[in-house]
């Protein structure tokens, strides 16, 4: 278990709620490697993440053009935002079918839930994470690190046991974007006072 805790602590966690759906699976139902997980990811999850990657890739060269490209970059960001809104709506319909949970925190290694359920350590789940702020979703497999009594329920840490590299990078970026938004909000409140 100490290995799982070490792996969980390798990445930064941000306190923020994102929607998560969990479905317990037996260990023999886990993908054997990255190519297997790629085969079972629902097409909608692949589409949403491909759009997200394309946006990152398309805007990167514009940053090198300096001030000349600012207006063009702003226009492209607005166009991208329209696509993100449509994808967010479509992803929300995917999320409606299942019981939704919300994280207490998330990061590049996994997430934490506060629930009434005590999850069994080392059990595995097929997990769907919905990142509304990023207009993205991640399909992966997670493993329970630990589940400890906390307030009126249990605080459970889940680690990504089987996740595509690009999806883990997305989780890292999402946690950093969320942190940046929180810091900006704190700074603006500080400036008002």
* Residues 164, 124: Cα–Cα separation, whole Å: 16
Q: What is the reported pLDDT for 57? A: 72
- State how far Cα 7 lies from the chain centre: 17
User: Is the pLDDT assigned to residue 34 strictly greater than 90?
Assistant: no
Q: What is the reported pLDDT for 135? A: 76
Domain ranges of the chain: 2-192
* Residues 87, 173: Cα–Cα separation, whole Å: 18
Give pTM, 2 decimals.
0.82
Q: What is the reported pLDDT for 50? A: 76
Q: Show Cβ contacts of residue 100 under 8 Å, excluding neighbours closer than 6 positions.
A: 19, 20, 21
């Amino acid at each position: 278990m100490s290995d799982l805790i070490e792996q969980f602590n390798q990445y930064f966690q941000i306190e923020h709620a994102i929607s998560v759906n969990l479905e317990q699976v037996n260990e023999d139902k886990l993908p054997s490697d990255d190519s297997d997980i790629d085969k079972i990811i629902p097409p909608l999850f692949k589409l949403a993440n491909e759009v997200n990657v394309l946006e990152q890739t398309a805007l990167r060269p514009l940053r090198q053009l300096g001030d000349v490209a600012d207006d063009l970059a702003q226009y492209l960001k607005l166009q991208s935002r329209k696509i993100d809104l449509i994808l967010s709506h479509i992803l929300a319909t995917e999320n409606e079918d299942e019981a939704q949970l919300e994280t207490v925190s998330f990061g590049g290694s996994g997430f934490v839930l506060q629930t009434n359920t005590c999850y069994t350590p080392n059990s595995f789940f097929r997990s769907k994470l919905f990142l509304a702020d990023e207009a993205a979703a991640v399909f992966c497999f997670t493993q329970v690190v630990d589940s400890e009594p906390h307030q009126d329920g249990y605080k459970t840490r889940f680690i990504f046991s089987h996740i595509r590299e690009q999806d883990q990078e997305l989780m890292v970026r999402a946690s950093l974007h969320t942190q940046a938004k929180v810091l900006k909000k704190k700074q603006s409140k500080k400036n008002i006072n």
